Structure 1
Amino acid sequence: MRLSTVILPVRRWSEGGRERWQRAEQLGFHTAYTYDHLTWRVPFRDGPWFGAVPTLTAAAATTSRLRLGTLVTSPNFRHPVPLAKDLITLDDLSDGRLTLGIGAGGSGFDATVLGGQPWTPRERADRFAEFVPLLHRLLTEDEVSAEGTYYTAHEARGLPGCVQRPRIPFTVAATGPRGLRLAARYGQSWVTTGEPGGKESGTPDATLDTLARQTEALAKACAEAGRDPATIGRTLLTGLTSDRLLDSLDAFVDFAGRLDALGFDEIVVHWPLPGTRFEADETVFERIATEGLAQLGHDPTAQR
């Protein structure tokens, strides 16, 4: 089991931003992720919000062991060709510590910021199904030309390639059949948030039931792809459903133990932010970071 965190890009680097990423490394988190949005939902839309790629570049320069990543990048405002170049560069700057969380995107602010109409769920799935294979090629081949319905590459160079071979790992966000098939084919791991809308209407037991169904669907997708389900990681991004695992160390250990039994091998918790849905006691948060895995019987130093 690995414990990771999400650091939302809401602080200036000179006003606590740098220290937060350094503290994540000191606490022993496996990976520190950030959201790859141009802005996000209330209350963040009207406040500071910095870009994911520059933030991760700065984090790479100020840490040495901590893995870094997006959770998640989407096609909403990204094109595979320039994204691949940024990722190859970030992988080099971090000396191979980068993970790409990638998903189909949604209908929020990122979907309309460039002036177009939000894509339908089907169009998002269609684009994602084209986006991921092309990005895979761009990160594994020296030169790529491809012409698709949505994305085109003409003699796109990928030299010198990723530090991590054959490419940086993908953590694919998916709950539906098409997305799960992409995860089974291209993902080194799979990430879910549980049941959409569960924060307001669900219960922890309902979340776990949903996760059990989703892991079964992932296993089916792996079987269809001829892949052993044990070879793909399982990640839960917490804080968006009704889980209350940051309320106390005991609450974390109880919930994480049930996730462990379902086969999840990475838990991602949001760094506490006062006045938001991610508000939590930072002292409890740090205890969870340093003691939680040990109470589950896992060696907390094994993920470092």
Structure 2
Amino acid sequence: MRVSVVILPIYRAPEALARWRAAEDAGFDGAWTYDHLSWRSFRDEPWFGSVPTLAAAATATSRIRLGTLVSSPNFRHPVTFAKEVMTLDDLSGGRFTLGIGAGGTGYDATALGQEPWPPRERQDRFEEFLGLMDTLLTSPATTFRGDYYAADEARMLPGCVQQPRVPFAVAATGPRGLRLAARLGQAWVTYGDPKRLSGLAPDEYAAAVAGQLRRLEEACAEQGRDPRDLDRIMLNGSTGERALESVDAFVDFAGRYAEVGMTEIAVHMPVPDSVFATDEVVFEKIIRDGLPQVRGL
């Protein structure tokens, strides 16, 4: 079981770089950041752009894997974003993973002045967006015209360090998203059942994810693909599970998800006075004593 950490893009440069270096020094396998223009309770607080944040993190670290968790089409275009993704892959020496999903209906969905897209259109856009991203990142020049996006001789040179392109970690829980993960993903991301995020016993949360994983396996079978080819990432923090309450709680949490077939858990670096508030001393104990135990799962 791999363990990664989410570092929110809320810190000015000196502190931000220190946190990315600390994540690498602590032994985390990966470090992610949110790709939003702002986010929920942080909307009126400092919040920086994910791409320049990750560019700085790439130059401040040497081993740890970096990525977005997750990007979406809400405020991006595939041509410009593919160029940024290719650049992040180069800056990191091939350590970048693009976490990406359909996006939601919050602030990001209206910040550019548009009306929120209906669910069907949001998923339609996501499929076209990700398909075009795949083409852009694997081709030196792309011309494309779809229902929502277009490219005209869009150049992607010299191409990605990772070949044939950077890996996609596709966030999905519904059938169309799971089929897209099976078709284009190198990893799958879930944060649990969006309809049951509280009030369940620990085993019930894991059982919900196990059900999603079974549907992902069915989607992989339709694509003639071995589901074991996909990494499977559980993002902690949305359900009622208190994974960072103690070392034992952390190990138990990781064990439940390892048992159902997940290969990575992602936890949030503590942010005081927020939904991600965690005792700093306990977090340090989890790093020191919990990570070695979870690695063996």
- Superposed, which structure 2 residues align to 1:1-304 within 5 Å? 1-14=1-14, 16-42=15-41, 44-196=42-194, 198-296=196-294, 298=296
Aligned residue type for 1:19: A
Aligned residue type for 2:12: R
Q: SS of the counterpart of 2:75?
A: coil
* Contact 2:173-2:193 at 8 Å conserved across structures: no
Q: Which deviates further from its counterpart, 286-295 or 269-278?
A: 286-295
The percentage of counterpart residues that share the same residue type is: 59
Q: SS of the counterpart of 1:215?
A: helix
* Contact 1:199-1:242 at 8 Å conserved across structures: yes
Q: SS of the counterpart of 2:98?
A: strand
* Contact 1:91-1:168 at 8 Å conserved across structures: yes
Paired with 1:163 and 1:47, the residues of 2 have a C-alpha distance of: 35
RMSD over equivalenced CA pairs, Å:
1.3
Paired with 1:148 and 1:203, the residues of 2 have a C-alpha distance of: 45
1:258 to partner: Cα distance: 1.1
Paired with 1:71 and 1:117, the residues of 2 have a C-alpha distance of: 24
* Contact 2:173-2:212 at 8 Å conserved across structures: yes
Paired with 1:163 and 1:267, the residues of 2 have a C-alpha distance of: 26
Paired with 1:222 and 1:90, the residues of 2 have a C-alpha distance of: 29
1:283 to partner: Cα distance: 2.1
Aligned residue type for 1:182: L
Change (3 A) 1:290 1:185: farther
Change (3 A) 1:20 1:297: closer
Aligned to 1:302: none
* Contact 2:210-2:260 at 8 Å conserved across structures: yes
Q: Which deviates further from its counterpart, 206-215 or 104-113?
A: 206-215
Paired with 2:274 and 2:163, the residues of 1 have a C-alpha distance of: 39
* Contact 1:27-1:286 at 8 Å conserved across structures: no
* Contact 1:32-1:69 at 8 Å conserved across structures: yes
Paired with 1:139 and 1:73, the residues of 2 have a C-alpha distance of: 16
Give structure 2 stretches of 5+ with no counterpart: none
1:197 to partner: Cα distance: 5.7
Q: SS of the counterpart of 1:168?
A: coil
1:234-281: per-residue Cα shift (whole Å, max 9, x none)?
100001111111000001111111111111110000001111111111
1:204 to partner: Cα distance: 2.4
Paired with 2:50 and 2:151, the residues of 1 have a C-alpha distance of: 23
Paired with 2:281 and 2:195, the residues of 1 have a C-alpha distance of: 28
* Contact 2:234-2:266 at 8 Å conserved across structures: yes
Paired with 1:123 and 1:289, the residues of 2 have a C-alpha distance of: 42
Aligned residue type for 1:150: Y
* Contact 2:210-2:261 at 8 Å conserved across structures: no
Change (3 A) 1:297 1:162: closer
Give structure 1 stretches of 5+ with no counterpart: 300-304
